[in-house]
Amino acid sequence: MEGSSTHIEDPSILDNTGHGPLRVPGFGDIPMNYELPPEARFAHGIYEWRQAPAVTARELAMVAVMNHLTDHLDWHVDISNDEVVARWKKEAFDMTALMSDKTWDWCLKELRDKAIDFRENQHIRVLDTGSCVCKSDTPTLSSLSTLFRWAVPPVLRQQKAQQGLDWKSKQVLSIVDPWLFPLVYGKTLVLDRGRVDLHDVLGAYKHATVAPKPVDKRVSFMKLQRWVDKGQIPARGTTPNDHLETEYYRWSWNYQCLPCEVEFVKDTGTEVRITSYINNLHPAYQGLYGAIEKVISLAIKPWNDCLVQGQSDWSKDSNHGQLGPVPLRIITYGIEWENELPDWADAFNVPSTIRKRIYRRHREELQRSMEDDTKEGRKRQRKLQALEAGFCDVAGKENMEKPPPDSDLWGKAKEYLERPEDGSTSPMALPQDWQSNPWRRLQEKVERVLRWKHPEPGTAFSYEEWKSGQHHDKPIIDIVRDRPDWGPERPFYPVIPPHTPYAITLEDTFRQQGLQVLVELENIELTPDAPTYSKGRWQLPGQLNEHIVGVAVFAYDVHNITDPRIAFRQYTRLHGCYYRYHEELVAKRSVLLNCRPAHRQGKTYGLEYDAIEQILGFPPLYLSIDNYANPPYQDAGSIATPQGRLITFPNVLEHRVEPFQLVDSTVAGHYRFLKLYLVDPHYRVCSTRNVPPQQHHWWAAAVGSDLATAGLPREMIDEIVQRTDSWPMGMSEARQHRRALHNEHLWNEMTKLGRMRGPGF
């Protein structure tokens, strides 16, 4: 772990049940920046996830194809139909140039196993490359779509009336916004003991006290805010002040979003009920509460299959990072070459007579200078040593000659020079002077015929070994285990923890204490005047205060729009220390240019960079030493979210809604969905069980009803309510806090980008 977060080994000391004093982060004697050791909780993506090794472009193509095919109706049945499978094979080859027979065979085996999982669990893992996403399409979810379409409109109408906004002018409508009316340290009323009764949420004010205010340690936030105001992103390698301050931006020292409490109903299964109010959704809407409970119940098992278990020592540079639930299918740290010069070719790499003569003279002068221990003598030694370094191709070859005429090496050289070129199958004619200049002609030949190839699944280990966890993360091209080039001050000896399967069962492990969930309901509305949505931005929800580790999205109402999709990307630091393309970088920075392997000389210099970028699906020049423009992210793919689909994913993946538009441009359309954010259940955080509602309009409606029941005239009631129009918190103040909270998320994002190193370092 890094930074100054506070570690408490025993999570059982946390308590927000109301049966005793409130003991959660920021309350009692628990510091606000309290954090469990990684192995005692789930991983998050704020600073604790990097996918390593990077996913190959071919594997990304494989999971994209499998995700696409599992969108077909009854795919889990048709995968056993050979005629359908033949059509799907053609479909797969049409989708990507990276599909091959060997790749398809792997995909087919995996799809048939996924079909078994789907029939058993009613959901499957997709885009599963280390981390993963789960998707589910069931009749139950389709029925829930109808229930939501019935239950949400009354809430929207009520909010329009209460908030007084011109909703018709807004493309994105937040029906239930978890970032509105958050816990405000130093402002919000909190119960130190007792609970907020779900059926009498306004009865707890008299026992509440103001939440304590921690000391904000982010002294450079104004600098970050200027970047926010200008829409700028700090260059990587910079920080708001120094690396010690970066830690503090991962936490909000002013706010925490308030989850609701969810408890399991029975001794087994995933059925749940909500036992504290959903922030910004009045408990009077029992139909909607019930529908949300059903979605939470259905999200639990998919969360089990996608959450990332924390791992100790993840942050050490000698380790890869956290390990996701799914091992990679293709692992490589280098390049497989075709037509590479064989080792025997070095027998023709004979230095010229002139270079041999110059090298011998330098060696003799260097030996004589060793006898002179004066300042001038030592200066002469250093100069001669530098000159000698330029002749590393001669060292050890002073007496080397071409192979004798009867050597079989000449036949091998002839065969190599005659290899077909440019896709031809006919042998090439030999250059006339090839015997007098064999090394030069071999170099020219390799520049024309050298090719790299995308690695294939099933090369280092079989599908059966991968499926059974017996593959041992074996790479096709092994990792660089020792990197002396980096000098004694930066030794690099990577330790790669084996990928060990693990099982997560939220419903068993946390049955007694229950779960905490943030709820969001959002509409994206398109009209003929605004027919396109293109405002989706990459998100990693929450800050460490919220401890969000899982997300679920349920699309319950999709009408007259093109295929809505959610895209994913993940931090993928391609540590050049152990990837073999970095050898070329080391050679480039060295004066020993003539010591590079033959296939990397001349025109092919730079081919290694280009090859590894394409093998791993990165754009050209992505791994350049001077490239600080591209953040070290790798796109993981996107998933369609048609009406009635539920997807879940760990909060280590950044996500965004992809652009979409109206199908019929003359008619309005919409994309309406429920979003759930799972708080790491290894923790307890302050929730709506502990905070009486802050919404003034809730309180005003209840007070008005009580006063009317008591017989007070309407004029007097209105006057009483108006005199307290900001208690506990008015809508205007809540929006100000929401904007400030959003800015803090941007500060966190900027410090994260500022501390990231380039893609290859």
Q: What is d(CA 58, CA 67) in angstroms, rounded to the nearest whole number?
A: 14
Are the C-beta atoms of residues 283 and 199 closer than 8 Å to each other? Answer: yes
The upper half-sphere exposure of residue 568, i.e. CA atoms within 13 Å in the direction of its Cβ, equals 27
Question: 376 falls in which pLDDT band (50, 70, 90)?
Answer: confident
At residue 392, φ and ψ (nearest 5 deg) are -65, -25
Task: Tell me which H or E stretch contains 669.
Answer: strand 669-679
Average pLDDT in the 712-720 region? 60
Locate 27 and state its tokens: 């309350």
Q: What is d(CA 475, CA 579) in angstroms, rounded to the nearest whole number?
A: 12
Segment 645-658, tens digit of pLDDT: 999 999 999 999 99
Question: 170 falls in which pLDDT band (50, 70, 90)?
Answer: confident
Torsion of CA 83, 87, 93, 99, to 10 degrees: -30
Q: What are the CA-CA distances from residue 211 to residues 548, 557, 690, 692 (Å)? A: 21, 39, 11, 12
- Cα–Cα nearest to 320, from 15, 716, 43, 561: 43
Neighbours of 32 (CB within 10 A): 21
Most confident of 18-22, 235-239, 301-305, 391-395: 301-305
Q: What is d(CA 414, CA 422) in angstroms, rounded to the nearest whole number?
A: 18
Our measurement of the distance from residue 176's CA atom to the centroid of its chain's CA atoms, rounded to an integer in Å, reads: 26
Average pLDDT in the 626-639 region? 78
- Cα–Cα nearest to 428, from 418, 415, 414: 418
Q: What is d(CA 110, CA 85) in angstroms, rounded to the nearest whole number?
A: 13
Mean pLDDT lowest among 71-85, 144-158, 594-608:
594-608
Are the C-beta atoms of residues 720 and 701 closer than 8 Å to each other? Answer: no
Q: Is residue 626 classed exposed, middle or buried when 0-12, 13-18 and 19+ CB atoms within 10 A define those classes?
A: exposed
Which residues, other chains included, contact 656 with Cβ-Cβ below 8 Å and sequence gap of 6+? 536, 537, 538, 539, 566, 567
- The residues that bridge with 261 in the sheet, in sequence order, are 516
Segment 91-137, tens digit of pLDDT: 999 999 999 999 999 999 999 999 999 999 999 999 999 999 999 99
Q: Cite the DSSP H helix spans in 452-519.
A: 463-467, 506-509
Are the C-beta atoms of residues 275 and 261 closer than 8 Å to each other? Answer: yes
pTM of the model: 0.88
